Structure formats: C-alpha cells, structure tokens
Amino acid sequence: MAGDEAASKAATSIHRSPSRPQLDLSGATIQGSTEDKNPAIVLPNQSDELSHFAIDIGGSLVKLVYFSRQTEPAVSCGSPPRKGGGGQDRQKEAYYEGWRRHPILGGRLHFVKFETSKLNDCLAFIQSKKLHCSNPSLGTRLHSNSGDLSGLDGLAASNGSAEEATVKATGGGAFKFADVFKERLGVTFDKEDEMDCLVSGANFLLRAIRYEAFTHLEGQKQFVQMDRNDLFPYLLVNIGSGVSMIKVDGDGVYQRVSGTNVGGGTFWGLGRLLMKCKTFDEILELSQGGDNSSVDMLVGDIYGGLDYNKIGLSASTIASSFGKVISGDKDLSEYRREDLALSLLRMISYNIGQIAYLNALQYGLKRIFFGGFFIRGHAYTMDTISFAINFWSKGEAQAMFLRHEGYLGALGAFLSYDKHGLTTLTSHQLVERFPMGAPYAGGEIHGPPIRDLNEKITWMDKFIRKGIEITAPTPTAVPTTTGVGGFERPLSRALSLRSDSSAALNVGVLHFVPSLEAFPLLADPDKYEPNTVDLSDPLEREYWFNILSNHMPDLVEKAVASEGATNDAKRRGDAFAQAFRAHLARLREEPAAYGKLGLANLLEMREECLREFHFTDAYRAIKQRENEASLAVLPDLLSDLDTMTPSDRILALIEGVLAANIFDWGSKACVELYRSGTIMEIYRMSRDKMQRPWRVDDFDLFRKRWIGEEGATTPPKPHRRALFFVDNSGADIVLGVLTFARELLRRGTEVVLVANSLPAINDVVATELPAVIAAAAKHCDILRRAAESGGLLFDAVSCNNGDRHQCQNGSVPPLYVVANGSGSPCIDFRQVSSEVAAFAKDADLVVLEGMGRAVHTNYNAKFKCDVLKLAMIKNQRLAEQLVQGNIYDCICRYEPGQDSEIYL
C-alpha cells in the first residue's frame, strides 16, 4: 500500500510546463465496456488547440516533431448532420451522438528537419504554424525571404498578449540557441537530457511502429517486426555530428558505453574541404559515381596485385583509406571529386561499423540499431555498415536501421511532455500515412501537406521534375575495389543503386487513433498477415502498378464528375493524377521506400491521395443511383426468397451475395461491363453464372452448419452474433448483404454490419448505411424491427408487405451498423475500430464479403470463430494465381471455428 501511495504521489508531482496547453483529463471516461482489456479513454473536455512540439537542435541539423489535433471524429467520414432535419437526418444525428459526446483524443505527429545554419527557416516554420502559442489564434504569420534572423524582429512584441510558451528541447543547440528562441518567439526551453531522449525515442519507435526497423544488405531492404517482449538489450548507435554508442537495457535503463568523434560532422566537414560541397546530400550524390582505387591504398597495391591469403585479405581490400595519395604527385584538383567522396564515405562508415561491433561483442549484444542523420536512408551507407558488422561478427550480429532514424532525440523530447501516455500506444493505434501533396524540394519535406489548394497545384510541376530526377538511374563506375579489413565490395554497388535523396519521404505522418484495436477473433495475431498478394515479387508488383496506372483516367473522370465537373475540380483531378503517378514512380524505383509494401497499403494510398486533393467521395453520385435502382427491385426479391424452402433459400442467398459482388468500380473488367449494360442486365448475367461447383465451394459444409444433416430432427443452434464486413454500395449491399442479414436475423442471430469509416471506390460507408436500411425496412418488417432494436430507426415505419415467415424465437434480434476505422477497399485486422472489437467479443460468425476484404486481404487469415468468405474474382491474374481459375469465378470459403456446431 505504501508503494502504491508513493507511486501515486510521484505521478501527481510530474513537472508540467505551466504555459503550454495541457491534456484536460476532467470528465475522462472509458469508451465501451469497463471489462475490456485495454479500453479506450475519451477526454470530453479536451481542447482542440492542443499542439505540442519538441525540438532537437544538433550541430548540423534541427529536428522538429510536432503534434496536431485530430479535427474530425476518428471513425467519421464527415461532419454530423444539422439538428432539426427530417427522419433520415434524425437517424444520422443519433448515429453520431456518441462521437459528439465523447470526442476521442487523436491527432497527427509530424516530422520536419532544417539545417542548423538556416535556423531562420525553422523559426519561421514554427511561427507560421503557431506552434509556440498557447492560443494559436494569437499568433501572426511571418513572411520572410531573408536568410538571416532579422525577419523575425518584433515577433515577440506581436505576441505580447500571449502567455509565454515552454517547449521541450534537447541537443547542444538547446543551450546555444535558447536566447534566440526566447527573443524571437518568446519561447523558453525546458531542456531534456540528450541521451534520455535518444533512448526514449528509439524504444517508442521499436515498440509502437510496425516495421520501423529493417536490415539493408546487398541492396535489399528487409523489414523486421520487433517482439515487444524481447526488445532488450540492444546497442543504439546514434550517428550525428559525432557518434554515441548506448547499451539499452530497458525503459530509462541505459549506459553510454562508447563513441567516436569521427561521425557525420567529420564527413560533412572533410567533404566541404576536399570537394567544396555545400550540402551533406551533395557529397552522398558525388560518392555514387566514385571509384576509390585512385585514392585508397589496397592490399594488391602492396603485394603486387596479389591477395594476402594467409590472413584472408584479398587484393582489393582497402589497406589504408586515402593511402595512395601519399605516393602521388597530384594536386587536390587533379583527383575526381566522386572518388574522394566515395573513399571518405567508406572510411567513416566502416570505422563506425567496426567500433559498433566491438562494443556489441564486449557486452554480448546481437542487435545493433543505427540512427542519426548521417545515414538518412542512403542505401550505400547502410550496406557499408551492414557489411562491416556482418564481416567482423562472422554473421552472428546484425545491423538494423530505423526509418525515423534522425528524429530519435526530438521524438524522445516530445514524449517527455507531462508523461501524457503516448509511450503506451501500440502499433494498432498508429497509422502512418504519406503526404501526397507535400511541398517537395531537394529531397526534403518541409512540413505537412499544403492546405491552400492553389499553392499545391502550382507546385506540382516541380514535384514531377524532382520525381523524374530521383528515379533516373545514376551512372556508376565499374566495380573494382573493396571495403575494409578483409571483405569485398558490397554487392549492392550497382547501376540501380543511388543516393536516396528522397529519404525524407521515408517518414510519413503518424496518425494517433486511440480508438483502433487489434481484432480479438484472430486465431494467431502474431502470425497474421493481411495481404494475400506478395508485392515483393517484381513481376507481381509491376502488374499492380500498371493496374492502378491504367485505371487512373476512369477514376479521375469519376472524381471530377463528383464535384460537378467544374474547372476547379478538373485542375484538382489533374493534380491528383500527377501526384499519385509520381508516388508510383517512387515505389517502382524503391518498393520499400515507405515501409513494407502490400496491396492493401497501395490501394489505401490511392484513396488518401484523392482526399488530399479534396475529393472526399469520388463515387458518391454513382452509389446513390445504384442504391435507388437496387431498392426498387428489393420487394420482388424478398417475395421470391420467402417462397423457398430453408435449404433452397440459403443457396439463393449465397448466390445473391456472390452475384451482387460483381458491382465493383475498382475492377477494370467490371467497368467495361458498366459501359455496355444496365445494372439489372449485369445482375442477371451474374446470377446466370452461379452454376455450382464454384471455384472454391464450401457451401455444403456451411449449409450443414446452417440447417443440419439431412433428415436430422433437431436443427443446429443459430449463431449468436454475426459480424458482416460489407463491400460495395448498390446491388451488393441491398440485394446481397441485406437479404442475407435478414435471414440471419430471422434465425435469431444478431447482425453487425461493418462498413468503411471513409469512402473507397464505390464501397458503402458506415454513415450511409442507416439511410439504406431505413429505405429497405419499408419493404421488410424483419429489417424494420431489427433496425429499431439496433438504434438505427426512430420513427415507426409501416411495411408495404409483411414477411411470410416469422422469426424462430418470435422476436427479432438487433441489427447494428459500425464503422471499421478504415478508408480502404481492404481490411487489416491488426487495426479495427474499438467499436468493432467490442462487438467481436460475443460474435461466433465472421462474414468477409468482396474481393478486397476476402481475397486481396484475409484469404488465408484464420479466426477463432466460424468464418465465411464470399467474393467474385474480378481480376484474371489473381484468379490464375490464387485459385487456378478465371475471371468471374466465385469464392465461397467456409472455415468452422473450434466450437462450431459441426464439431459438437
């Protein structure tokens, strides 16, 4: 008890920066059940103005990490409707009520860097974003084009009415430039220990960010998923201006065991002296075309071109970096700058790698993480360090790198704010997205996406030019020389290898969504892989890149039409196409540039790009028309279904879901169908193709679970609750899903329709479903009563025709609608909304419908409960590779859970 009291006292005595906006914990409540293992906590009184930032000012670079509040509900696709509307508005009003009463704390974490010598740029950026103001409305926008600090004169005076801000800062510059920030911005630094911040930042990234760490050997980047329970100990090598080597044994438990003064500052300084380079990246670019044999003394130079076999050194091993210069009579100007740059890069990289390994050896560490802006995503630098570690350890130790390598200190400083709990976030609560329209110059992202659309579009030409530059192969010399101390030249020294001048794009914006959770019904979450398609295969990757490129004109046409085909919409559509093509070009050059690439990520990136250029729902009008057409024929379909026997009806229902799933505007084949036929003509054609056996046909097994063995006197118990992950609007949701859901309800099964939070192609969105259900309920008493019970309907609706069959137990279970937390045509069960996770607890049936959710992703996923996967294949390549079939083949895959009625 005494220990608990002490801990409580310590928690309340944590230092708070009095003038910064704080987290308002008053009225905090748990969202969902209090019995949840990790329930989401909502802060109803949290101010939208919360905007922390932290800074790491090094000798060469300033790194800034800042947090912006989420401005919309985390699971909403738009603003809540106005009060006082009609019945449909009242339905949506109630649907949003929970989100309005309990705004979930969420937001975005941005990463920005500046050269320390251009501190004015950093100060101007902070001022323009009003990050230093306790009340952002008190700030003023700065317009300064000068390279000095004079443009910021009078800034403090202009903010005199604002409270003084206290900002977390680390690095040597936190001391050196404290007075500058105080004078120019009215900011006081709350200085954090540099090593504390480095370790805290690294631990957070390795625990919370999926695929943060990767290896880089022989030109191949391989992501490594860290085990949160087996993270320590490790060696952290931070390569800034100098190098620190830190043995990390836990949170806040570390020891600086070594270091060297030969680091990034050495490389940059000597590069300026020897090659007259003005920037760090310029030296890296030069090294790309270098051949160090004219500069470095090799073993072969000493032994007449022979190897030194006795001690295992080849003739091409570097005996002495820059050693050949001693015996030469050349002036500096006579040496190729490229050769000098390569020799310098190797010398410093090999030296750091060797020292790191010797320290790891001393402490018995197998994992070595390298961070700091010396690396900055440069492929050859990482290969050089990896070869050094691999050679000296004889393959027993492994060099690993971090995607947020340069921001460890700034991130650690940010995390020190009030101990606000971000360190407890896990990978399922963080979504990384890449700014599609961010200003791009010299390989750096200067802040978040531009909010002014005109500025974004005028910048686009520059983006394309830079995109072409970074994807063009860089000529290199013929491989002739090697590395250091007994191993050969890294194999990745090839024509395709280049300086990663776009390394800044390797880091996206981290979206904190505390309402996301891992799906509790996954059979083995640690082994779960959502993507069915393997994009590590170059042929497979190129195929899908081409699919997306070829589909672009049709998508742009629909997006522009959705905005009224105005001139502004046309300009935005063109800008979207240019931006997304530029990112596809980037991924063609380096598939792992933005992290581990899967088809789900690729498709969601396209949707994010549409939203970036203000196309909120490109298929809105099409979805409305298809919904209306489908609702018009729903009564006739229900009437036909009600005349069937239970056995015939379940077959007709499954056929209906499969046939209706053909209406997918994301499929090239289906787009061609739309051009030549009406919606009902396509539906009839699809139903005509429903001849069994299907390509994957587990229907008989599912029917056995549904109605039991033929001749059995007692039918199986109905499922308690079904989670139905739905796909497209129109016929898919109305004629396929709702009719199947109706039958589940009639059997006594609760039904939860799980739809997208944000639009993707023509997928139905959760906020659209209540209106669709209300319209369908006019023709079906079961749907009406279930929707009322589930809180989707509030006005009594009289059915045009009553249902012929009553429910098995005389009452109708509820029908719910929840948002899945995603804006993609696919579903990643490592990240679903907390609402979905809560409903999953009592569910014993999961239905995955549609190509994106049941084939592109989760085709091989295993669940603890019964799962039914239904989809029509609309991609020829996928049909051939996955099921050895053809386009329009059907998938009906049923996998009983361990407690299924089939096994009892």
Alpha helices in 276-336 (DSSP H): 280-287, 299-302
Look up residue 16 and give its two tokens: 């708070």
List pLDDT tens digits, range 267-299: 999 999 999 998 888 998 899 889 988 899 988
Percentage of the chain modeled with pLDDT above 70? 72
Residue 317 vs residue 781, higher pLDDT: 781
> What pLDDT shows up at residue 572?
87
How far apart CA 401 and CA 493 sit, in angstroms, is 19
DSSP E strand stretches across 492-601: 509-512, 516-517
Q: Which range (31-35, 421-425, 564-568) has the least confidence? A: 31-35
> What pLDDT shows up at residue 75?
35
* Sign of the alpha-carbon dihedral angle for 716, 722, 728, 732: positive
Q: Given its phi and psi angles, is residue 41 left (phi above 0), alpha (psi -120 to 50 degrees) or beta? A: beta
Q: Which range (72-76, 353-357, 478-482, 516-520) has the least confidence? A: 478-482
Q: Which range (31-40, 475-484, 655-664) has the least confidence? A: 475-484
Contact between 753 and 737 (Cβ < 8 Å): yes
Residue of 436, 762, 487, 844 lying closest to 612 (CA atoms): 436
Dihedral angle over CA of 584, 590, 591, 596, nearest 10: -120
Average model confidence (pLDDT) across the chain: 77
Look up residue 666 and give its two tokens: 């994301």
Check whether the bond before 233 is cis (ω within 30° of 0): yes
- Residue 356, judged by CB atoms within 10 A of its CB (0-12, 13-18, 19+), counts as buried
> What pLDDT shows up at residue 871?
93
List pLDDT tens digits, range 490-516: 333 333 333 333 444 467 788 888 788
Q: Which residue has the tokens 């000798």?
A: 59
How far apart CA 294 and CA 535 sit, in angstroms, is 41
CA neighbours closer than 13 Å in the CB half-sphere of residue 883: 24
Mean pLDDT of 701-730: 90
Instruction: Please measure the distance between the N-terminal and C-terminal CA atoms of the chain and give it in whole angstroms.
Output: 48
Would you kindly state where each structural domain of the chain is located, as residue ranges? 21-70+105-212+403-453, 213-402+479-498, 621-895
Q: Which range (47-56, 392-401, 560-569) has the least confidence? A: 47-56
- Res. 581: pLDDT tops 50: yes
- Quote the DSSP letter at residue 712: -
> What pLDDT shows up at residue 641?
93
List pLDDT tens digits, range 534-556: 898 899 999 999 999 999 999 99
CATH entry 2.60.120.10 includes domain 21-70+105-212+403-453: no
List pLDDT tens digits, range 863-881: 999 999 999 887 778 878 8
> What pLDDT shows up at residue 136?
36
How far apart CA 838 and CA 32 sit, in angstroms, is 7
- Res. 447: pLDDT tops 80: no
DSSP E strand stretches across 780-862: 815-819, 832-833, 845-849
pLDDT-derived band at 882, boundaries 50, 70, 90: confident
Look up residue 628 and give its two tokens: 């209306």
- Residue 146, judged by CB atoms within 10 A of its CB (0-12, 13-18, 19+), counts as exposed
Could you tell me which residues come within 8 angstroms of residue 893 by beta carbon, excluding any fewer than 6 positions away?
696, 698, 854, 859, 868, 869, 870
How far apart CA 320 and CA 351 sit, in angstroms, is 12
What superfamily does domain 621-895 belong to in CATH? Uncharacterised protein PF01937, DUF89, domain 3 (3.40.50.10880)
What superfamily does domain 213-402+479-498 belong to in CATH? ATPase, nucleotide binding domain (3.30.420.40)
> What pLDDT shows up at residue 17?
34
How far apart CA 823 and CA 604 sit, in angstroms, is 7
Could you tell me which residues come within 8 angstroms of residue 364 by beta carbon, excluding any fewer than 6 positions away?
none
Q: Which residue has the tokens 């659309």?
A: 453
> What pLDDT shows up at residue 142?
26
Q: Which residue has the tokens 């029917």?
A: 703
> What pLDDT shows up at residue 161?
38
Q: What is the DSSP string of 779-790?
A: T-HHHHHHHHHT
DSSP E strand stretches across 456-515: 509-512
List pLDDT tens digits, range 509-529: 888 887 889 999 999 998 999
> What pLDDT shows up at residue 98?
37
Buried b vs exposed e over 373-406: b needs ≥16 C-beta within 10 Å? bbbbbbbbbbbbbbbbbbbbbeeebbbbbbbbbb
Alpha helices in 590-678 (DSSP H): 599-612, 620-642, 646-660, 668-676
CA distances from 422 to 12, 106, 223, 520 (A): 17, 11, 24, 22
Look up residue 868 and give its two tokens: 């039914």
Mean pLDDT of 633-654: 92
Amino acid identity, residue 31? Q
Mean pLDDT of 604-626: 88
Same fold, 21-70+105-212+403-453 and 621-895: no
Amino acid identity, residue 267? F
pLDDT-derived band at 833, boundaries 50, 70, 90: very high
List pLDDT tens digits, range 757-769: 999 988 999 999 9
DSSP SS3 for 342: helix
Contact between 497 and 380 (Cβ < 8 Å): yes
Contact between 827 and 601 (Cβ < 8 Å): no
> What pLDDT shows up at residue 319?
86
3-state class percentages of the chain: helix first, strand second, coil last, to nearest 5: 45, 15, 40
DSSP SS3 for 409: helix
- Res. 378: pLDDT tops 50: yes
Q: Which residue has the tokens 């056929």?
A: 655
Look up residue 405 and give its two tokens: 């390598």
